[in-house]
Amino acid sequence: MYLKTFSCRVLCKLVNHEVVASKKTLSARDAAAGFPGRSSARGYYNSGNASQPGPGKAAHVRVVDLRSDTVTKPGPAMRQAIAAAEVGDDVMREDPSVNELQEIAAEMFQMEAALFVPTGTMSNLIAVMVHCRERGDEMIVGNLSHLHIYEQGGSAQLAGVHATTVDNLPDGSFDLEQLESKIRHGYPDPHYPRSRLICVENTHNIQGGRVLPLTFLQEVRALADRYGLSVHMDGARVMNAAVAMGLPPSTILQHTHTVSVCLSKGLGSPVGTMLAGPKDFITRAVRCRKALGGGMRQAGILAAAGKLSLLEMVGRLEEDHHNAKTFAQALLECDPAVFAVDMATVETNILRFRIQEPTLSPSEFCARMAEVGEGEEAALGQGIQVLMYPHFSNTVRAVWHLGISPEDTQLAIQKMQLVASQHIKEKVRAQ
């Protein structure tokens, strides 16, 4: 009895200690991430100034996080919707919030049915599993597609589906002749896999948020229909494409059989993706979701955020596109001319730009943007940490989202100009 009581007391102390420690860590992390210090111009985050010293020991540090639009956090309205969500057992199809979200998505995309899925990677994998129902079936994907590069080869690893690639052009599209040449013929010839599926990505991540032309989508669909293939769109950011084109998403999606649309990127939900298509496709998708561990129970608390994303967060994507273009223009106007960017390619919220100064690598540039350098607070009035990623072919990738205001964008421009100027001065001194 004594041992049991002693163990309980020790356990309670440990738990309480961990809770307090985790709260302190979370608080410090949030402050360091700079979220309380962002402008309240959007009315999404409360105003205030972050005061955590950065690497340069500046007294005031602002963080502008341009790594990805996945870093967004739900604001007060979304948190309230989550707290008030009506829930049920979604595996039993009894969660009213999930059911409503699925109906909203199906209507918005003009597809027969939709399914709430935990992640975009799972959603794409489910689509591949349903379209390619036999092991050894083949899908055709872009060589720079997210599905091919960043999803761990799950289609082969878990679904037994073979992938063949076509080259992604700079705008994210394919050469249609090359695409047609990849389609297998002569099934059931035992030597070859069977072509089943063509996958497109819109907007295209690696190519810098490019919007696929409607004519391209029309031609891909016509080609697929001619050979009896299906077309799936990885539309993680298709709402960005729709806003950029000034069209409803259904106008884009009419050229595909199925689509995966992420809620947790620019649309601001903490979790979730919508998979949409014909009713028989979604019926099979439900089974695949369960097999992959994606069947959630009282998922309405997440679906409530998703409803807000689809109904209220789409229009504001235009702000992200504008902020990305503002930064891109500043890159072109930077003196000295350290950067290169084609403004015609800056269509949505993802920016890829090239560093044309041979003595400054993308990795070094990103490292200097992310640190608070000596004398920076005196020069800029505060320390500014801008988080970006070095990317392909001597480029840098930056992504705008609802956590980045026009003021944040101007801070990022100031930091970029300072880093470029300091690097050139150091280069001159070293000569």
Q: What is the pTM of this model?
A: 0.85
Q: Give the pLDDT of residue 392.
A: 81
Same domain, 224 and 140: yes
Least confident of 1-15, 176-190, 267-281: 1-15
d(CA 333, CA 328): 9
pLDDT at 34 over 50: no
Question: 127 CB contacts (<8 Å, ≥6 apart)?
Answer: 232, 258, 260, 275, 277, 285
- DSSP category for residue 161: -
Instruction: Using the 3D structure, point to which of 276, 296, 313 is the last residue of a domain.
Output: 313
Least confident of 42-51, 94-103, 148-157, 398-407: 42-51
Same domain, 160 and 278: yes
CB 155 within 8 A of CB 161: yes
**Residue the block writes with tokens 């163990």:** 7
Same domain, 293 and 160: yes
d(CA 368, CA 385): 9
Same domain, 424 and 282: no
The answer as to whether 1 is a domain residue is no
pLDDT band of 100, cuts 50, 70, 90: very high
CATH number of the CATH domain containing 224 = 3.40.640.10
> Is the Cα torsion angle 91, 94, 95, 100 positive or negative in sign?
positive
d(CA 271, CA 209): 21
- Rounded average pLDDT over 26-49: 32
d(CA 129, CA 123): 10
230-272 pLDDT per residue, tens: 999 999 999 999 999 999 999 999 999 999 999 999 999 999 9
Same domain, 243 and 323: no
The answer as to whether 134 is a domain residue is yes
pLDDT band of 219, cuts 50, 70, 90: very high
- Rounded average pLDDT over 100-124: 98
Torsion on CA atoms 292, 295, 296, 298, rounded to nearest 10: 180
Q: Give the pLDDT of residue 26.
A: 33
CATH number of the CATH domain containing 383 = 3.90.1150.10
The answer as to whether 24 is a domain residue is no
Least confident of 40-54, 200-214, 332-346: 40-54
Q: Give the pLDDT of residue 321.
A: 98
DSSP string, 227-283: HT-EEEEE-TTHHHHHHHHTS-HHHHHTT-SEEEEESSSTT--SS-EEEEE-HHHHH
The answer as to whether 322 is a domain residue is yes
pLDDT band of 367, cuts 50, 70, 90: very high
Instruction: Using the 3D structure, point to which of 287, 313, 339 is the last residue of a domain.
Output: 313
The answer as to whether 16 is a domain residue is no
Same domain, 403 and 352: yes
- Mean per-residue pLDDT over the chain, rounded: 88
> What's the structural domain count of the chain?
2
Q: Give the pLDDT of residue 59.
A: 54
Same domain, 83 and 169: yes
Residue 83 sits in which domain range?
A: 76-313
Same domain, 321 and 309: no
The answer as to whether 53 is a domain residue is no
Q: Which residue has the higher pLDDT, 431 or 332?
A: 332
Least confident of 14-28, 70-84, 284-298: 14-28
| C-beta neighbour count of 154 within 10 angstroms | 17
**CA triplet 305, 309, 311: central angle to 5 degrees?**
115
* Token representation of residue 18: 């961990």
Q: What radius of gyration do the chain's Cα atoms show?
A: 24
Same domain, 397 and 284: no
Instruction: Using the 3D structure, point to which of 253, 279, 313 is the last residue of a domain.
Output: 313
d(CA 323, CA 178): 36
